Structure 1
Amino acid sequence: MKKILALLFVATTLSCSDKDDDAFTYPKETEVQNFMWQGLNQWYFWQADAPNLGDNRFATNEEYVAYLEKYTDPEEFFYQTCYKHSNIVGTDNAIDRFSFLNNDYRTLVNSLNGISKSNGMEFGLVRYEGSSNIFGYVRYIIPNSDAANKDISRGEIFNRVNGNTLTESNYVGLLFGNNDSYTLGMADISGTVITDNNKEVTLIKQEGMVENPILVAKTVEVNGTKIAYLMYNGFTNGFNEQLNTAFGQFKSEGATELVVDLRYNPGGSVNSSRLLASMIYSTNTSELYIRQRWNDKIQSSFKKGQLEDYFASKTDKGTAINTLSLNKVYVLASGSSASASELLMNGLAPYMNVFHIGERTRGKNEFSVTMVDDIDNDYIYSPARENKINPSNKWAMQPLMGRNENAAGFSDYTKGLAPNIALKEDISNLGVLGDPNEALFARAIQDITGTTAKRDFTVQMPVEEVSNSKLFTPIKDNMYLDKVEALPLP
């Protein structure tokens, strides 16, 4: 018996798992749990390490049903099933930090395409030293959003929401709850001192808001050197053409150096990272960008060509890629830079000097695939098969399924990628993104040209984040596999 795997536009044949989907029967009320167990048993990267996912975990149908019925909350069932030890519950027993789920696959799929419910303010949260109170700082404002029409901008500070002082115990409910609006109480910052002021800003979340991840794309000239600067805040496949257009702009402006700003980029599409890598380095389609590693049950089912991604000469729509053909790229990255951001840096490393300024990255080196209750497609989501998804089960999983290694075989950066030059953002002076005087960009310019308009890089109030707004979106810091080639069947 064989099954069809469809990774979006990818088609390949795989042998069925040791446990056939119809090996056990189950009550209708456990169909969500059954979907989760069957999908994780076949695809989860650490399937062999999770006792509750073992192929021989259940000796009888009754044992299987009893397990499905044990956890009536699908979220609890999902995480319990992925634990290292079947009888120990807790974060320390979790195999990975990044697998997640959503109760409506449509919300998740929209988020992967940059569509969400948002007020357009992206922010970080920082703890006061020696206190459980926290405050927020505005990272940037998404154009054409509600926040873009309000009196609020990058670098401003807030420490109250709806009149409540922000603390570690209440910030999630106040900022990320079901409320569609909230009122921020703003604050002033002087050096390392933050004090309340009387300014208030009310923000309203909008359905269907689309974020263009290309926030800034410009070329500056310093001492005769033309330096392209790209502020890229998410690897979103729907904006690959615009990304290529930006590189065409860089080329026409005569840029010979490139600074890619990923400091707030939590990741996203593997394919977008491959295309961006090609725009930076080369369109030589015979050079390997990355290679996939799946779990032991799946790996042998793929042909070599199905596991490998090469640099691209064209976008998915057939547009010739505008490449700068560089041998060195400057990347601004922080602890918020994850998954596809790290993949870009690691994938380019065997071919060019990737000069990293900022902080150690998050350490997310596994990819995932969206899973839904479509048994005939091995539970893999495909937009062409939405009418095949079980209509009574809208849950989606985004479990880690494998790792991408670079052409040198390296993929072990679970502790993050360390910077060549360590430099934190200064909350007391964030600067303007894309301005040559902004600290991280200025530091790159200094290395490129030997001079800069901003010579003092002393940080008075370094960012020590508790969390940030990106981590509360449905895709969080996900790296999702979305190959577009129609690969041959084995």
Structure 2
Amino acid sequence: MRTYSFFRQTTCLALLTTVLGVSACRKEADVVPDDTTTAAENRVVNDWILENMQDLYYWNDKIPANPDKTVSPDTFFESILYGYDAVARPDGDRFSWIEESADDLSASLSGETRTTGMEFTLYRRAQNSNDVIAQVVYVLPGSPAANAGMKRGDIISKVNGQTLTTTNYVSLLFGNLTTYTFGLATVSSQSLVDSDQTRTVTATTFQEDPVFLDSVYTVGGKTVGYLVYNQFNPAPNGSNGTEYDQKVDAIFSEFKAKGVTELVLDLRYNPGGYTSSSVNLASLIGRGIDASKVYFREEWNKTLTPYLQKEYGDSFFVQNFVNKSQNIGANLQRVFVLTTDHTASASELIINGLRPFMTVTTIGTATYGKNVGSITVTDESGKIKWGMQPIVFKSFNSLGQSDYASGFQPNVEVEEPLSLLPLGDTREALLNEALFQITGSRLARRSAPENNPLPGIGSSIERKINGSGMFKQFKMNKL
């Protein structure tokens, strides 16, 4: 095994395990002469991929012995993964990925992407129909979509005059278009009716603020804090600070000042992100926790584990809570977490990591099921432009539990309806249920019907799940 020096960055030390965005420095790649063939160019990149994966990959013992290094790097990367198969490899990898641009990879992990500024869920327009609709679930403030008047609950049935279908929705919604003219439909007596309303939106590079909404409700003699948090991200792309974590701290400081005794944490659209931000949030919520208590621990591959233990001790694998003056745990007996199948990775870490310390009640639908974490691997010499995000560890809470690869089933099942109310509206289905669980009485009628009858076929948030997750931040240098 090659020898490495692992050290956590200063910001990571200050946060007691700041999350991921890791770069891996390996031996410098040889410069490929201009007259070499594509196969030779591929081999240089693929050698770099293989060496890193043999050392770091959680399933490194499953890497094929003689992979074809002449194929394109993305094809090569996929060929060496221990790929998931429901029957043959139910413990397999669903989450490692590679991108041709390490810079683009880093930006996307920090919430900066080329986007219209909205997320949506995709449904067949009716049972057995080939027509498709996109239901907007949230719109980022200040984004092109928000400026065009798009809002949560809008239903898109056409793009640039073309009806969405199962054969064209990928190219129309996720292709290389810059300007979109969305044709809208409305719900009438549980049927979808196309309207003459359109919204024109031009995609741009946009930084998402993960802190979407916060509020405090006084209901049934209880003071309820509510936070909609859509990605575990400490700071905007290009920042080495913790601006977004500090924004969350300020919200909990207000919760504490207002005497919040119940908490509703809305993670229904949160696909994960940096573990440092997950530690930060959990440390604001946990009851009876401090920096001596384990939030989660990591299991790395059998090749790397002995080396890391020798160099850094068992503490390398342990992520403790941190001491936060804004912590409201002393006033909480429980926390309610709103979930869907978009709730993944660092969001599930919150659920799993807090359960040994307090009651965590999940409301909504089953979570995604991602109990593994990754690091960002790049070539700091700059000669190889690719970046990859391989799975390198599995997470366990302080009780040694990691049994959510199939997701957490909700304690109280509530589906999002076809007609969506604004997030934060006490009549909104999931929040309304949480307030009912807190007070024992309905504050408002829930929107009807409570179930969406349309068959789901995907979501724009899936790209964030596959391109996000649970990231750990540290730096590796070859000695």
- TM-score band by shorter chain is 0.7 to 0.9
Q: Contact 2:274/2:472 (CA < 8 Å) preserved in 1?
A: yes
Q: Contact 1:266/1:337 (CA < 8 Å) preserved in 2?
A: yes
| Aligned residue runs from structure 1 range 213-362, under 5 A | 213-238=210-235, 239-282=244-287, 283-302=289-308, 303-314=313-324, 320-325=325-330, 326-362=332-368
Structure 2 partner of 1:443: 433
CA distance in 2, matches of 1:168, 1:412: 35
Summarize deviations over 1:439-458 as a string: whole Å, max 9, x none.
11110111111112234575
Q: Give secondary structure in 2 for the equivalent of 1:220.
A: strand
Which amino acid counterpart does residue 437 of structure 1 have in structure 2? R
Change (3 A) 1:285 1:7: closer
Structure 2 partner of 1:15: none
Aligned counterpart for 1:111 among listed residues 108, 112, 130: 108
Summarize deviations over 1:213-232 as a string: whole Å, max 9, x none.
11111101112211000011
Q: Which runs of 5+ in 1 are unaligned?
A: 13-19, 59-63, 315-319, 374-388
Structure 1 partner of 2:154: 156
CA distance in 2, matches of 1:464, 1:272: 34
Structure 1 partner of 2:54: 41
Q: Give secondary structure in 2 for the equivalent of 1:68.
A: coil
Q: Deviation of residue 95 (structure 1)?
A: 3.0
Q: Deviation of residue 412 (structure 1)?
A: 2.2
Bigger shift: residues 349-358 or 469-478: 469-478
Summarize deviations over 1:66-112 as a string: whole Å, max 9, x none.
x211x1x2111110111469xx9x99899311111111111111122
Q: Contact 1:120/1:146 (CA < 8 Å) preserved in 2?
A: yes
Change (3 A) 1:46 1:256: same
Cα RMSD, aligned residues only: 2.8
Runs of 4+ deviating beyond 4 Å: 6-12, 24-29, 90-94, 455-458
CA distance in 1, matches of 2:465, 2:410: 28
Q: Give secondary structure in 2 for the equivalent of 1:335.
A: coil
Q: Contact 2:139/2:145 (CA < 8 Å) preserved in 1?
A: yes
Which amino acid counterpart does residue 148 of structure 2 have in structure 1? K
Q: Deviation of residue 6 (structure 1)?
A: 4.7
1:425 aligned to 2:431?
Answer: no
TM-score scaled to structure 1, two decimals?
A: 0.83
CA distance in 2, matches of 1:92, 1:311: 34
TM-score scaled to structure 2, two decimals?
A: 0.85
Which amino acid counterpart does residue 395 of structure 2 have in structure 1? N
Q: Give secondary structure in 2 for the equivalent of 1:296.
A: coil
CA distance in 1, matches of 2:83, 2:231: 31
Change (3 A) 1:5 1:465: farther
CA distance in 2, matches of 1:240, 1:93: 35
CA distance in 2, matches of 1:271, 1:357: 25
1:99 aligned to 2:96?
Answer: yes
CA distance in 2, matches of 1:294, 1:2: 16
CA distance in 2, matches of 1:456, 1:475: 32
Change (3 A) 1:165 1:297: same
Q: Contact 2:83/2:89 (CA < 8 Å) preserved in 1?
A: no
Q: Which runs of 5+ in 2 are unaligned?
A: 18-25, 33-39, 236-243
Aligned counterpart for 1:365 among listed residues 362, 365, 371: 371
Which amino acid counterpart does residue 393 of structure 1 have in structure 2? I
Change (3 A) 1:420 1:290: same
Bigger shift: residues 184-193 or 419-428: 184-193
CA distance in 1, matches of 2:88, 2:182: 32
Change (3 A) 1:463 1:346: farther
CA distance in 2, matches of 1:343, 1:392: 36
Aligned length: 438
Change (3 A) 1:372 1:292: same
Q: Contact 1:312/1:321 (CA < 8 Å) preserved in 2?
A: no
Which amino acid counterpart does residue 130 of structure 1 have in structure 2? N
Structure 2 partner of 1:377: none
Change (3 A) 1:6 1:132: farther
1:75 aligned to 2:81?
Answer: no
Summarize deviations over 1:399-453 as a string: whole Å, max 9, x none.
111111000101121110011001100012x112111111111101111111122
Q: Contact 1:157/1:186 (CA < 8 Å) preserved in 2?
A: yes
Q: Contact 2:432/2:446 (CA < 8 Å) preserved in 1?
A: no
Change (3 A) 1:223 1:323: closer
Change (3 A) 1:402 1:92: closer
